[in-house]
Structure 1
Amino acid sequence: MDTSLADTLKTQANAHRYFTTDFTERTGLGWHQPTPANASAGRALSVVIPARNTAYALPTVLEALAAQQHAADVEVILVDDASTDTTFDIARQHPAVTTAVSLAERRGSATARNVGARLAQAPTILFLDADMVLPTHVFADVAARAEADTVLTGFRHNLTHRTSPCGRPLLPDSPPLLSADHRVTWKPPVGTVLPYSGIMLAEELDGRPLDATNDFQSLGYGRFFFDWDLPRMVVTALLAVPREQLVDVGGFDEEFGALGWGMEDTHVGAALIAAGCLVVPLRQAVGFHLDPPDAAAQWQAKLTAWPATLARYRHLLSLPAPTDRGQAFTTAADKHLTDAEVITR
């Protein structure tokens, strides 16, 4: 019987210090240091943005991409998941977007990411949410550090929806805070069964997952920090993955899109870890995540669907680790593209 994905994760280390130390010795740059533009010269990056009804944030997000300071060869692919607002119009007209795709039917973010990955040309794909506003150094941060066996994860600082008189999102004058991400500062509920580990905390915890796990290194071999394991640290709000490895594991499981919100990034993280990838944080890569006007209603809808997506994830953990799925990935993505509108600059 083939080894399950869950059991394969127990055999994989995440001791990445040798990798980050080598980068520092080779370049003279700190691993968590914002990167000068010229350090990314000779590198290539495909940025894939899944989007649905994000017109409230997208102009600000794309302006931040246009302002990136880097020397890499970068393409930006935005895949609109059948929005009912002006998301696609914004994308196809903005100079920061090199390829804009409009899916004919709503399929979910997993499918949108797979379509973008199918069109991507660079060896590294940076997945970015359509409501994430990046500091100017992030493209260079990722491009300079990406390798064929690394998953690089950035962080997010949620902002409550506020707009200027002209209707644009209001951003703070200060940079986004690393500590605002729940993988960095975490205060779990007391007396409630935590969903991933099944444990219940009897007293309040001032959790620091990133620090307590030595930049996720001690989460190797399937270990937990309370309710956190290594796949849970893989969050596609800001995440760079090796394209070849992503395709080989079959990309994102599209069934998640039919069920609702969440877990497709956790599953693809588990698949990539099982394939031998290291998960390495970039503490300097923190973006502002812009909440939508109806954030409370959207969050409630997401939580309603979460039990189904969590059950799907647990089922996939019981199956063999995915590998040699490249042909199936290509066939499925090409099928979605047959009736999609694709505009390339």
Structure 2
Amino acid sequence: MTDTLAGALKTRSNDHSHLTGAFHGRIGLGWHQPTPAVAAQGRPLSVVLPALNTAYALPAVLDALAAQRTAGPVEVIVVDDASTDATFEIARRHPAVTTAVRLAARSGSAAARNAGARLAQAENLLFVDADMVLPTHVLADFAARACPETVLTGFRHNLPYQSGPGGLVLPDSPPQLAADHRVTWTPPVNTRLLYSGITLTEPLDGRPLDATDDFQNLGHGRFYYDWDLPRMAVTALLGVPRERLVDVGGFDAAFGQIGWGMEDTHLGAALIAARCLVIPLRQAVGYHLDPPDAAAQWQTKAAAWPATLAHYRALLAQPAPTGRGRDFATATDKLVTDAEVITS
């Protein structure tokens, strides 16, 4: 039925060729080329990082943001979700950070992102995980291409935690696009895939990004095996128009109360229903740093996955969210009022 979020997704195309083509005509730069700083001039960007016990990675993440080569105005908002380590102290003292927020109580990453979006001044938001180290061109990549109808997604190269005498150890080589599961994907055989529910009986060398023509073939609710268009919106590195995000009510904070995951997929679905197009930036790839206790954290996350997926399925059966700006303001104002906020 078209009056549900799932139904609305089936009516939406993801043909973004007119936008990528217009960008090339206006800038003279390929959509997937690293962006010179000057191309972002006059295009403000608010970078929002939700952070929970990320002291092991946050200095490197913020150093990388400080080193960005962009001519556009940038504010960096770090929202600490009541960490028990030095996350907030690192954020409040780092020169790259415009606003450091410490929530009064653990609220989940969805609520933390909403609080950051409420404080943001720019029309375009870039959500970055607090364990994502970005190459120097990435902020310019997003700022130069952002517009009111785009959801821009970057990619992540997961990196095992490694420390040395000087602290966190990072590779000298740049992160690789192929390391992201949306680019190179090898699903299990004879196992029910959790998202789509299908079972593959033969090995698959999956290439979601290439096979879907930069996600364009995922329009109208179509799948590439276990991948659909909302799943491509991953908040490790995701650019969204602030006005559209507010209108759909932001991230559904209930996901953070249930467990881990799916709040970004639901936001992607809501924005697609609101006529946004999901467009990848192949050049925007960051190192996603695993925590020291990665194995234990993944066990906890995996245990919560069925419940968050069930909540997402329930939301798909409800009407597509719209006109929720007042509710968004009420919920986030409460979070921000109770929080400690330090502005540089």
User: One fold, TM greater than 0.5?
Assistant: yes
Counterparts of 1:51 and 1:79, CA distance in 2 = 6
The CA deviation at 1:197 is: 1.2
The CA deviation at 1:18 is: 1.1
Partner residue in 2 for 1:97 = 97
Percent identical among aligned pairs is 72
Secondary structure of the 1:188 match is coil
Choose 330-339 or 219-228, whichever is displaced more.
Answer: 330-339
Partner residue in 2 for 1:329 = 328
Partner residue in 2 for 1:13 = 13
The CA deviation at 1:43 is: 0.3
TM-score under structure 1 length normalisation: 0.99
Partner residue in 2 for 1:294 = 293
Q: Which residue type is aligned with residue 12 of structure 2? A: Q
The CA deviation at 1:188 is: 0.3
Partner residue in 2 for 1:230 = 229
Q: Which residue type is aligned with residue 47 of structure 1? A: V
Counterparts of 2:148 and 2:338, CA distance in 1 = 32
Partner residue in 1 for 2:213 = 214
Partner residue in 2 for 1:73 = 73
- Structure 1, residues 133-158: CA drift from partner, whole Å, max 9, x if none? 00000010000000000000000000
Partner residue in 1 for 2:24 = 24
Counterparts of 1:164 and 1:217, CA distance in 2 = 43
Which structure 2 residues correspond to residues 44-193 of structure 1 after superposition, within 5 A? Answer: 44-166=44-166, 168-193=167-192
Counterparts of 1:248 and 1:273, CA distance in 2 = 13
Counterparts of 2:133 and 2:315, CA distance in 1 = 32
Runs of 4 or more off by more than 6 Å in structure 1?
none
Q: Which residue type is aligned with residue 100 of structure 2? A: A
- Structure 1, residues 40-99: CA drift from partner, whole Å, max 9, x if none? 001000000000000000000000000000000110000000000000000000000000
Q: Which residue type is aligned with residue 274 of structure 1? A: A
Partner residue in 2 for 1:272 = 271
Count of residues paired in the alignment: 344
Counterparts of 1:108 and 1:307, CA distance in 2 = 17
- Structure 1, residues 167-208: CA drift from partner, whole Å, max 9, x if none? x22111110000000000000010111112111000110000
Counterparts of 2:338 and 2:122, CA distance in 1 = 24
Secondary structure of the 1:85 match is coil
Q: Which residue type is aligned with residue 62 of structure 2? A: L
Q: Which residue type is aligned with residue 211 of structure 1? A: D
Partner residue in 1 for 2:342 = 343
Counterparts of 2:93 and 2:196, CA distance in 1 = 45
Q: Which residue type is aligned with residue 334 of structure 2? A: K
Partner residue in 1 for 2:253 = 254
The CA deviation at 1:2 is: 7.2
The CA deviation at 1:337 is: 1.3
Counterparts of 1:169 and 1:135, CA distance in 2 = 17
Counterparts of 2:214 and 2:104, CA distance in 1 = 41
Secondary structure of the 1:267 match is helix
Counterparts of 1:302 and 1:169, CA distance in 2 = 24
Counterparts of 1:87 and 1:164, CA distance in 2 = 20
Counterparts of 1:106 and 1:193, CA distance in 2 = 34
Counterparts of 1:223 and 1:171, CA distance in 2 = 38
Partner residue in 1 for 2:307 = 308
Counterparts of 1:70 and 1:337, CA distance in 2 = 29
The CA deviation at 1:25 is: 1.0
Q: Which residue type is aligned with residue 65 of structure 2? A: L
Partner residue in 2 for 1:320 = 319
Counterparts of 1:338 and 1:173, CA distance in 2 = 42
Secondary structure of the 1:276 match is coil
Q: Which residue type is aligned with residue 81 of structure 1? A: D
- Consecutive unaligned residues of structure 2, counting only runs of 5 or more, are none
Partner residue in 2 for 1:197 = 196
Contact 2:2 2:8 in 1 (8 A): no
Counterparts of 1:198 and 1:114, CA distance in 2 = 31
The CA deviation at 1:288 is: 0.2
Q: Which residue type is aligned with residue 185 of structure 2? A: W
Secondary structure of the 2:163 match is coil
Partner residue in 1 for 2:40 = 40
Q: Which residue type is aligned with residue 204 of structure 1? A: P
**Aligned-residue RMSD, C-alpha:** 0.8
Secondary structure of the 1:183 match is coil
TM-score under structure 2 length normalisation: 0.99
Counterparts of 2:168 and 2:301, CA distance in 1 = 23
Contact 2:76 2:98 in 1 (8 A): yes
- Consecutive unaligned residues of structure 1, counting only runs of 5 or more, are none
Secondary structure of the 1:97 match is coil
